[in-house]
């Protein structure tokens, strides 16, 4: 953990917290998911490790990029560092349109949809099923790139079955 500075908390889920962090050596910004290992059941621990393995095994423009993982012994946290998506998530984007009482332009909807399908195709080509597609797990860059994330409950199909 001494290689990173926590800048702020991005969110909290059932399995842990996500922070915006800066790597001290080069100043690069990342997202870091911290999972409290002691608070997890055996199945939840498997899910956390599964997410790290899957993220580390794939590289695609429409999937959140994996950088590194480590165990923070002082707090019993499994930490994994991922690409930071500076545009937030699709849920936040939709909510911003709702607050303005406007609709998302159809062109923008299609842009997001096509990129989500490309990310899913990459996963499916590797026999990985995401199993938790929702707006809060679709991340955006400020340039408009869509990245699927939070592969915590994803599964690899063995013999074509889950």
3-state secondary structure of 97: helix
Active site residue 132: yes
Active-site pick, 28, 89, 132, 150: 132
Comparing CA positions, the residue from 29, 23, 28 lying closest to residue 2 is 23
| Cα gap 100→115, rounded to integer Å | 25
What is the rounded CA–CA span in Å between residue 44 and residue 98?
35
DSSP class of residue 63 equals: B
Catalytic positions, please? 132
């Amino acid at each position: 953990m001494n290689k990173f500075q926590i800048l702020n908390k991005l969110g909290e889920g059932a399995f842990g917290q996500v922070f915006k962090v800066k790597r001290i050596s080069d100043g690069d910004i990342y997202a870091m998911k911290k999972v409290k290992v002691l608070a997890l059941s055996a199945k939840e621990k498997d899910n956390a490790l599964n997410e790290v393995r899957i993220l580390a095994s794939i590289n695609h423009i429409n999937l959140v990029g994996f950088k590194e993982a480590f165990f923070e012994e002082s707090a019993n946290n499994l930490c994994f560092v991922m690409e930071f998506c500076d545009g937030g998530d699709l849920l936040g984007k939709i909510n911003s349109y709702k607050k303005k009482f406007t609709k998302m332009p159809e062109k923008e909807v299609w842009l997001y949809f096509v990129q989500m399908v490309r990310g899913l195709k990459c996963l499916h080509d590797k026999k990985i099923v995401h199993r938790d597609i929702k707006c809060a797990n679709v991340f955006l860059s400020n340039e408009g790139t869509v990245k699927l994330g939070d592969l915590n409950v994803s599964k690899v199909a063995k013999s074509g079955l889950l």
